[in-house]
Structure 1
Amino acid sequence: MEAFRHTHSSVDASPLCWVSDHTGFSGTIKDSAIDFVVTEIDVRGQLVSKAGVGCDLDTCSVECEQEKSHPSRNKRLKKPEKSPENLSGWPNHDRLEDAKVVHDEVDQIAVCSLSESAANSSSMPVSEAQGGTLDLLLGSSVAQALEKFASSAKERRPAAGQGAVDEATLSLGTFQEKSQRAAIHLAVRQKFPFLKTVTNNAEIQARPDPQYSELCHLVSEKEADGLFSFLDSKDTSSKFTFQRDGNKEHRKAVHHFVSKYFGKLVETKSFSEQGGGSRHGAVITVRFRDKVTSSRKRNANDCQAVPATYTAFTLRKANMETLEAIACLASELGVVPSDFSYAGIKDKKAVTSQTMVVKNVTIDRLQAKRLSIQSKGLKVYNLRAVTQHLQVGQLKGNHFSIIIRNIRKHQEDEPEASLTDRVFEAIKKVKEKGFVNYYGPQRFGLGQNVQADQIGLALLEEKLVKAVHLFFTPEEGNDPVNKAKRHFINTEDAKGTLALMPEYKTRERLVLRALNRYGINQEGCSRAWLSLPHSMRILYIHSYCSKVWNEAASFRLKTYDLKVVEGDLVACNNLERDLSSQNNQQVHIVTAEDLESNIYSINQVVLPMPGNNIQYPCNKLTLWYQEAFARDGLKACKFRIPALQLNVPGCYRRLLAQPQDLVYQWLEDCILATGESKQPRGTGDSLSLSFSLSSSCYATVCLREIMKCNV
């Protein structure tokens, strides 16, 4: 099989495969965090670092420390050496300049100003911010039809006493994802308050809102818009006030209207104008009701009557794990880590920007904590109110701006070969053929004595005590964390270990507190794992499933090469994202007739992540998966762990991945300070790479295919 060469990886026992047969080159990645910049791409295809508001320059403390250690990071772009041929569809010089700007911004450690973000968020009408999203959410043709429908509905609105509102409806289309439907509901309501949207079997329909029309018979259209926007904001710290009204009967009618339709959600009260007395009229103030504090268990209707506040923001971090950053934010804001949601985990040794949502924290409260959050080496900006948590996988992908240093040929390469030719050939091949969509080493815990997939396997076997001991297995070294872990392994003294464990090790301390309270038996360890947020517990299970997927991918490629074969699973659509939310109805088993028709390509082939609700391929991979589970003691595993409240339905992942907008640029060698003098690094040329990947794809795996070496 000439298309593949194999290399052993420390990630698992299975050799990993190449897609292309180019030679590649060597180099160093992640020389520092600022060499690896990751920016999340939201579901609309927009970089989250640029979403919504303008930015100005501000300095993050962690990044400042990096700048001190690398004072001469400013790089000058060299003119690219002449390429042997022109690539079809190769981005033009403007795109290369864009890539330069990205790196220049990183080198200057430019981050967005929170104060300007909050100012813009408060001054810009929500309808203006939401209205521009309808084209992206619905498509231009449906958005235009909605505009016409809204205009017509407004003209047909009945006058007071003329009967019911027009029952005309407009279908906006069918949307399978709940998060997408929620975004559409919000965007339509914010732009057209006089319309309401309803969902029927995933189809969203718009129709005139009779409640809005009824309110417009009592107050001005501006006030009606204001009340509905206030209700949609769900900001429990804010209030809404109607205009001063001297007619008591009219005020009574307004009170009655609000109570009739929104009484479980808000309460109203009239206030006389200060110093004016009741004869000058009064204003009606609307506020959200306080939370129910009684000890009785609330039913679903009670819970819906007190909506939570959700604030979305962009988080920028450097040299910090996502979960560690969440722990810092939770501590500063006085909430628990499980109140935060995110679309995906980002690299630790990198400068990353991603969207997060926090529950029951208002924009004002988050803004007030700006300086203390910044002191932890984090930056939050692009603040805005949203209606619900983020879901894992709720993103289109990530954009990467990477510098590879010390570029050189492989030792075994031909002496007369040109390094420029090697780089150009590698970029061209990966643009054309892509790479095997392996999970990257950071998914497993690179370089650790015990990797995350081993803990995940113990959890799936329901060996919870063993999983705890694996969790606390120390690494080499005598730092405080390893001292504490070593103490636990030697003594099983949870209380003593807790005293030794540093405050910033949030996960370890949560587990230790539970072990100290409930003991280190099966039940105590179950309580300990339950003390971690669900997103943390499930990560270990996903890590094991990812290891199995990597091994299955290698077996599939070594067995069948880059050919579609009978029994393969193929995606039934052209989605660019990972298929993590799709079910069995969205994959198809390739038949002999399909092969004769040649209707499927290798780019449509998917492999299952293990779970209890997925279809396995109907070829040699079926037996391979069975043997893999039997080898790991999971032959009878149902991928459910009731003791830990974990359910693993499984998902599908494309066998191959393709980088988008892949460009490169040579950089001149950098200068670093050594003691009192500045000396050349002497490490050769550096290369700037810029590309985007779909969600759940790993840049390090793409680089591995480009460079033809483990990175």
Structure 2
Amino acid sequence: MSSFGIRVFRTDAGAMCLKGITRYAATDFAVQEISLQNGTAASLVAPQASANRDLSAQPQKQDADKSAWYLGCLYKENLSSSRAVELLWNTLRQFSSKKEAGAAVQFAGHKDRRAITCQHVRLASRDIVPPSIRKQRLSRLNKTLATQGSRIELGPLQRVPASFRLRKGEIAGNRFHILIRGVESDSESDMSTAAIAERLVEQLMERGFVNYYGEQRFGGGVRNGAAMGLCLLKGQWRTSADLLMQSYAQDGTDSSMAQALAAYQSRDYLAAVKAIPEGFAPQRSLCMHLMQRPGDFRGAWMRLPARFRSLTLDSYASLVWNRVASHRLDEMGQEAVEGDLVYDAHPSAHLSMPCSSVRRLTRQEAAAAPVDRLVDVVLSLPSPNVTLPANRTADFYRSTLAEDGVSLAAFGVRGTDASYRPLLVRPSDMKMEHIGTYDDGFGTASFHLSEAGRGLYDALQARLVEAGVDKGSFLPACGGSGGGGDDGAPLPEPVAERFLAVMQRITMCSVQSGVYLSQRLRWTQGRSDGEGDGHGAAGSERQVPAGDVYRVSFSLPAGAYATVLLRELWKGTHRSFS
């Protein structure tokens, strides 16, 4: 992460450190969007469902008013938000509608791709098919997606006023539930793994962590959107186009894009268009424009969706912010100093305040409570009319931009007002639970539930019974005379993986109705071990990580990155499956 300006830790470095593995399966990483309107986490909810009601479709009368707007929860597995919205729209839209997915379906932000996520979406009744058809179409779509380990669900729709909008970034935050496998101590301390985990949680809750933009903001590797954004600011249209076409083509993740890149570089744009696979709309749009007007790279970029162009510019602005944040803490210490910027109101009001409402700390204010005030300090994002700190941070800001050959004035093309980002962020309601331990071995690995894990397992069993699901067929017997681990015997690997996956899924399905819960649980029934859980087509061929499995849960405000928080736990010594 250091290549993206991410360097500084807030928790004790070296003395307390864990190591582990994240994203072994897509279901290991669960994200729920928290609504700005009522502060609740998005989930597939049916609070007033009756026992015999089909909850995967809404009553016909709900769509009687074709001018109505509805808010629903989009559940996705192993898909990016933009791809999930595109699939949802193509599946549910009326054939008469000519709208693009981006215009027809509103959502407030992008969620992790390799994860299971719930987020709110807004759509118009007139644009989508009646409820009786939605269930059939989604079922057909999910049969196709199952071969890719992916899934989409649309929860019950709630009517909202026409004036209601879901705008970029307008959420209260996100709730995370993350499984970390193979967890062990990697520190100089003699403390146990559990004790270190507990202490790190305490420090994060108390001190917070640096509010860096996470690696996914930039794309990573050759997919670095920051480089494209810088080229756009400097008017280097052809170079930015080259970088876009190199995305995914030079890292070995997609052979079709490698073929498309070769055709693009030879200026055979028709062959490039034919080679570009589904899901690469920006690259396709760029090559189609060059087919019609060769050499017009500026026009090709202007043809791309404004939201995509904005993301590349935001990516470079985020890189600048990360660099400035690290310099501020490295060179001026981890306490508030004279000239630092703070919001001109209490931090809890940040979301509802104008972005330009900031002021500089006086010497007296900084000296009064320097440590406490650091959580109020904000740093500016590049903009022509932004307010800079009245200290050495401003000098570094200008010199960083000058080294890249741009200035604050160049950011006028972003078309945004001055905006600011808190230097630190504190997680809320954070806890880290030991679920169980995997034995060493391959093919015969068994999972020993911890006390907390046993409680979660028993709770799941109870919910299965309540939902009318045969728990014996869903979580089969695993040793001894008891079923599903009731006798305390360890769980065999297939059962353990199913338990962990369903535990994560149920978090996203907070419902009271037994029928609705039963439908959601059957997503995993009948599948081969690991199939559809993000393990890949041959999930059983990959060795499950041995050692302790922990589940860390926490909430973060909008714009904060869970991967940056997790970085504080292991100080860089971890593996993440891609």
Tell me the secondary structure at the aligned position of residue 623 of structure 1: helix
* 2:421 is the counterpart of 1:657: no
Alignment-derived partner of residue 168 in structure 1: none
For the 8 Å contact 1:612–1:638, the answer to whether it is kept is yes
Alignment-derived partner of residue 553 in structure 2: 690
- Matching residue within 125, 144, 165 for 1:389: 165
TM-score by length of 2: 0.72
- Matching residue within 367, 388, 399 for 2:175: 399
- Matching residue within 219, 231, 237 for 1:458: 231
Structure 1 segment 221-260 matched on structure 2, within 5 A: 238=65
Alignment-derived partner of residue 507 in structure 1: 282
- Matching residue within 150, 154, 176 for 1:380: 154
Question: Which runs of 5 or more structure 2 residues have no equivalent in the other structure?
Answer: 146-150, 447-491, 494-543
How far is the alpha carbon of 1:631 from its aligned partner?
Answer: 0.8
How far is the alpha carbon of 1:485 from its aligned partner?
Answer: 3.5
Q: 1:49 to 1:577 in 2, by over 3 A?
A: farther
d(CA) in 2 for partners of 1:656, 1:450 = 27
Give the letter for the 1:462 counterpart: G
* 2:397 is the counterpart of 1:625: yes
More displaced 10-residue stretch of structure 1: 42-51 or 688-697: 42-51
For the 8 Å contact 2:177–2:554, the answer to whether it is kept is yes
Tell me the secondary structure at the aligned position of residue 48 of structure 1: coil
Give the letter for the 1:350 counterpart: A
Structure 1 segment 426-437 matched on structure 2, within 5 A: 426-437=200-211
For the 8 Å contact 1:309–1:359, the answer to whether it is kept is yes
How far is the alpha carbon of 1:662 from its aligned partner?
Answer: 0.5
Alignment-derived partner of residue 47 in structure 1: 41
Alignment-derived partner of residue 435 in structure 2: 667
Question: Which runs of 5 or more structure 1 residues have no equivalent in the other structure?
Answer: 1-8, 58-112, 124-234, 240-307
Alignment-derived partner of residue 260 in structure 2: 485
Structure 1 segment 432-451 matched on structure 2, within 5 A: 432-446=206-220, 448-451=221-224
d(CA) in 1 for partners of 2:292, 2:183 = 54
d(CA) in 2 for partners of 1:672, 1:320 = 31
Q: 1:478 to 1:688 in 2, by over 3 A?
A: closer
Q: 1:571 to 1:484 in 2, by over 3 A?
A: same
* 2:352 is the counterpart of 1:587: no
How far is the alpha carbon of 1:54 from its aligned partner?
Answer: 5.6
* 2:336 is the counterpart of 1:342: no
How far is the alpha carbon of 1:487 from its aligned partner?
Answer: 1.9
For the 8 Å contact 2:440–2:547, the answer to whether it is kept is no
Structure 1 segment 258-269 matched on structure 2, within 5 A: none
Give the letter for the 1:452 counterpart: G
Alignment-derived partner of residue 572 in structure 2: 709
How far is the alpha carbon of 1:320 from its aligned partner?
Answer: 1.1
Alignment-derived partner of residue 699 in structure 1: 562
For the 8 Å contact 1:480–1:501, the answer to whether it is kept is no
Give the letter for the 2:557 counterpart: S
Alignment-derived partner of residue 358 in structure 1: 123
For the 8 Å contact 1:498–1:509, the answer to whether it is kept is yes
Alignment-derived partner of residue 523 in structure 2: none
How far is the alpha carbon of 1:464 from its aligned partner?
Answer: 1.6
d(CA) in 2 for partners of 1:710, 1:662 = 21
d(CA) in 2 for partners of 1:325, 1:551 = 33
Tell me the secondary structure at the aligned position of residue 354 of structure 2: coil
* 2:331 is the counterpart of 1:559: yes
Tell me the secondary structure at the aligned position of residue 344 of structure 1: coil
Tell me the secondary structure at the aligned position of residue 58 of structure 2: helix
How far is the alpha carbon of 1:697 from its aligned partner?
Answer: 0.5
CA-to-partner distance for each residue in 1:71-128, whole Å, 9 max, x for gaps?
A: xxxxxxxxxxxxxxxxxxxxxxxxxxxxxxxxxxxxxxxxxx99526437957xxxxx
For the 8 Å contact 1:399–1:692, the answer to whether it is kept is yes
d(CA) in 2 for partners of 1:359, 1:519 = 39
d(CA) in 1 for partners of 2:25, 2:412 = 40
For the 8 Å contact 2:58–2:131, the answer to whether it is kept is no
Q: 1:361 to 1:556 in 2, by over 3 A?
A: farther
Alignment-derived partner of residue 196 in structure 2: 422
Select the structure of larger CA radius of gyration. Answer: 1
For the 8 Å contact 2:107–2:166, the answer to whether it is kept is yes
Q: 1:361 to 1:558 in 2, by over 3 A?
A: farther
More displaced 10-residue stretch of structure 1: 700-709 or 341-350: 700-709
d(CA) in 2 for partners of 1:622, 1:114 = 61
Structure 1 segment 154-165 matched on structure 2, within 5 A: none
For the 8 Å contact 1:460–1:637, the answer to whether it is kept is no
Percent sequence identity over matched residues? 27
Tell me the secondary structure at the aligned position of residue 157 of structure 2: strand
Q: 1:361 to 1:574 in 2, by over 3 A?
A: farther
More displaced 10-residue stretch of structure 1: 473-482 or 658-667: 473-482
Q: Which has the higher contact order (CA 8 A, sep 6+)?
A: 2
d(CA) in 1 for partners of 2:440, 2:131 = 38
Q: 1:557 to 1:664 in 2, by over 3 A?
A: same
Structure 1 segment 165-184 matched on structure 2, within 5 A: none
For the 8 Å contact 1:363–1:385, the answer to whether it is kept is no
Alignment-derived partner of residue 30 in structure 2: 37
Give the letter for the 2:205 counterpart: K
Structure 1 segment 261-300 matched on structure 2, within 5 A: none
* 2:97 is the counterpart of 1:322: no
d(CA) in 1 for partners of 2:420, 2:127 = 37
- Matching residue within 7, 24, 28 for 1:16: 7
Q: 1:673 to 1:563 in 2, by over 3 A?
A: closer
Alignment-derived partner of residue 306 in structure 2: 534
CA-to-partner distance for each residue in 1:299-336, whole Å, 9 max, x for gaps?
A: xxxxxxxxx75432211111111112222233332530
TM-score by length of 1: 0.59
How far is the alpha carbon of 1:366 from its aligned partner?
Answer: 6.7
How many correspondences in the alignment? Answer: 456
How far is the alpha carbon of 1:20 from its aligned partner?
Answer: 2.2
For the 8 Å contact 1:338–1:533, the answer to whether it is kept is no
For the 8 Å contact 1:114–1:367, the answer to whether it is kept is no
- Matching residue within 625, 630, 648 for 2:416: 648
